[in-house]
Amino acid sequence: MSSLSESNRNRRTTVAFDRLRRQVLPTAFHDSREHLDLSNHPTPWLSTCDKIMTWVQRQEKPKSETSLMWLDGDAGAGKTVIAHALARRCQAEKILAASFFFCLSDDRRNDGTKFTSTLAYQICINIPGARPYIEAAIDHNPLIFQRSVEEQLRSLIIEPLKSFRNSHKDALPSYAIVIDALDECRDAGFQTSVIQAFVAVSKPELTLLRIIITSRAEDHIASTFNFVNLSWPQAMHFFLDDQLASEKPRDLSITPPLPDLTFGSWIWTWEKPYSDPPVGPRPFRKVVMIPEGRYVDSLTIDITCDDIFALYVNGKILGSGREWTTAHRWSITFPLTNKIVIAVYATNDPVERAWAGLVASAVLWDSNTYNGSMYYTVKTDDAWKSLDTDPPPGFERISLDDSNWSLARSEGEYGAQPWVSNVKIPLKIEPLTDGFTSIIGILDSPKAPRATPGGIAMTRNSKRAESTPSSLIPDFASADWIWTQEKPYNDPPIGPRRFRKTVLIPSGRFVDSLTIDITCDDLHTLYINEKVVGFGLRWHVPRRWSITFPRTNKVVIAVYASNDPEERSFAGLLAAAVAWDSTDVRGGSFKINTDLSWRYGGTSAWDGLEQPLFDEDDWKPVRTQGIYGAGPWGQARKPTTINPITEGFKGIKGIPDPPRAPLATPGLNASWTVFI
């Protein structure tokens, strides 16, 4: 009888584990083949990793009472590289419980549908003693995967691990859960729920787990962690930019990994079997949206096609190929953007018509901020778009609407029949060319302007010498928080306010470039010399812009600023700028900071606030709210990257849109690079 009961229990266990396995997303594992190999990637944050590993293994002094750590940093701060490094080290020391790497550009990894089940599956594998408790939870409630994320985390992870710990008299090691890029999950409510659920784990009564979450400091994420006025430490906060600045400056010789064609799948249309391809060219497109607040300006791509293709990126031609056994590699640069369109004009050989397939892999990054961490990968898969007809006019352009296009068909991963591994992987960057022409039986590929060579081609084929005059980098430490004199800063007036600073350059001197760091509690739009530079919506996410303009001896900085009409808690404006003459850098620079010399106006006569000749004689001097570091803001974060030029904010409830103006011209970065 006992053996029969044991058999039934094992059968139920197998059923429970099978249910769990069907809910797993392997591509979210840190060591998934979907990710580029980071094991040999430059990691300038080794001491940061060492500090975190000390915390994971509970060897820190004094001992921490919390089991939750938030790694916060701007784009390019190194969050993902550090998360990978930590997961690898924990796995090597057999203390990795689970990992989950979100990715906004991957439709499988940008929601939380399989988040908890993926973690629970890995815990079953990495901590075998916990598996029976997880299986029992599934057996008790087979519909647990349809419950809220809080209930799933409680039932499948928190309670089973408590039971596992309580069943052991001997001391157990601490196990790590690594969650990367939580902010890249599309559901903000899910993000908040995950943090709130793990906060319970961070209480002292459960010491088995060390949970590491990386993300940018989105408002809802920062407020959920809520670090102040707690009776016990709710979470450790690790701001990676601070560590990065103290450990190693950005090394401009570091370049992203090369694309890996083996990550791609062969794709084609759904018209016929790929062994009997249709006659005529077919269009393929992939639209890549970079996460909010991040941008790219460089791309390297490996691509081949059975048989003939022409490649376009953001409407520009990169080149063409005519033999599938030889892949091509191109590297380009383009204006900073958060949207990239890769378009391919592809066709089978009309004479042979044996097989048809397209495979590609690409890497995108921001050359201004890249320091060994933040880049994005794109590969051919069934998320690409295609048509069963000839390409429509302008199919390669960003503005084309492909919402009615069909999804491409995956014909198998790289290495599948009939191509197997016979593709010759490129070893060097090829020069850019035009598309193909004059092939019998095939329409010429659409003409388009040629792309701009750059990216890795520029980096690896050029010798770099870096020059970063410290006098050209703004510093909040020299600025004051300012606002109007109407009311106390903790009871700000309703409606937007205007601020201006007119700077007269000494006689005989001129400037044509300016870099500015600025933030506002809460919203602002910035103008310099009649042009709009950009906007900010959150005071704890300051902005840095660098612009150029005609040489002049007068600079006018104007800010359209407003407190949040719904919160109205505090109000303040903080800015630090440096202006200089790019034709005579050694001639010195001029610092401009928010202080008592700024002036403000009321709510009327908005038109012309950004104009140099605007009459501000009846404006009043501002009131200082305290030096940098004062008031409720403390040591506000200093920006580390150049933001793209944009229009002002608009459509904010309760706040009139700021004045419209032409866009400013992007200028030199605060960190200069000279190619020799």
Task: Find the mean pLDDT for residues 549-567.
Answer: 86
315 dihedral zone (left: phi>0; alpha: psi -120 to 50; beta): left
Is the per-residue pLDDT at 294 higher than 70? yes
pLDDT at residue 584, as a whole number: 67
Q: Between 643 and 321, name the one with better pLDDT.
A: 321
pLDDT at residue 162, as a whole number: 87
Mean pLDDT of the chain: 80
DSSP assignments along 473-540, one per residue: S--GGG-EEEE-SSS-TTSPPSS-EEEEEEEEPPTT--EEEEEEEEEEESEEEEEETTEEEEEES-TT
Task: Find the mean pLDDT for residues 642-656.
Answer: 81
Is the per-residue pLDDT at 567 higher than 80? no
Q: Are the C-beta atoms of 578 and 589 separated by less than 8 Å?
A: yes
Is the per-residue pLDDT at 73 higher than 80? no
How are the residues of the chain apportioned to helix, strand and coil, as percentages rounded to the nearest 5?
20, 30, 50
Res. 612 pLDDT band, cuts 50 70 90: low
Res. 400 pLDDT band, cuts 50 70 90: very high
Distance CA 244, CA 637 (A): 14
% of the chain at pLDDT higher than 70 = 79
Give all domains of the chain, ordered by start, each with its CATH number: 2-33+45-247 (3.40.50), 261-460 (2.60.120.260), 470-675 (2.60.120.260)
Backbone angles phi, psi at 83, to 5 degrees: -60, -45
Res. 102 pLDDT band, cuts 50 70 90: very high
Which of 311-320, 569-578, 659-668 has the least mean pLDDT? 659-668
Q: Are the C-beta atoms of 99 and 84 separated by less than 8 Å?
A: no
pLDDT tens, position by position, 181-238: 998 888 888 988 898 888 766 555 556 889 999 988 776 777 676 543 333 345 677 7
Task: Find the mean pLDDT for residues 536-562.
Answer: 87
Task: Find the mean pLDDT for residues 390-414.
Answer: 91
pLDDT tens, position by position, 133-156: 999 999 999 999 999 998 999 999
Find the farthest-apart pair of alpha carbons in the chain and give their distance in angstroms, rounded: 102
Which of 39-43, 54-58, 442-446, 595-599 has the least mean pLDDT? 39-43
CA-based nearest residue to 56, from 225, 174, 150: 174
pLDDT tens, position by position, 245-291: 344 444 444 567 788 888 889 999 988 776 677 778 999 999 998 87
Most confidently predicted of 8-12, 73-77, 604-608: 73-77
Which of 23-37, 332-346, 455-469 has the least mean pLDDT? 455-469
DSSP assignments along 621-673, one per residue: E-EEEEETT-TTT-SPPPP-SPPPP-------TTSPPPPP-PBPEE---SSEE
% of the chain at pLDDT higher than 90 = 30
Res. 322 pLDDT band, cuts 50 70 90: confident
Which of 213-217, 359-363, 381-385, 496-500 has the least mean pLDDT? 213-217
pLDDT at residue 373, as a whole number: 56
Q: Is 389 helix (H, G, I), strand (E, B) or coil?
A: coil
Which of 91-95, 111-115, 179-183, 363-367 has the least mean pLDDT? 363-367
Q: Is 573 helix (H, G, I), strand (E, B) or coil?
A: strand
Res. 392 pLDDT band, cuts 50 70 90: very high
Residues sharing a CB contact under 8 Å with residue 299, sequence separation 6 or more, in sequence order: 313, 331, 332, 333, 334, 340, 362, 363, 364, 455
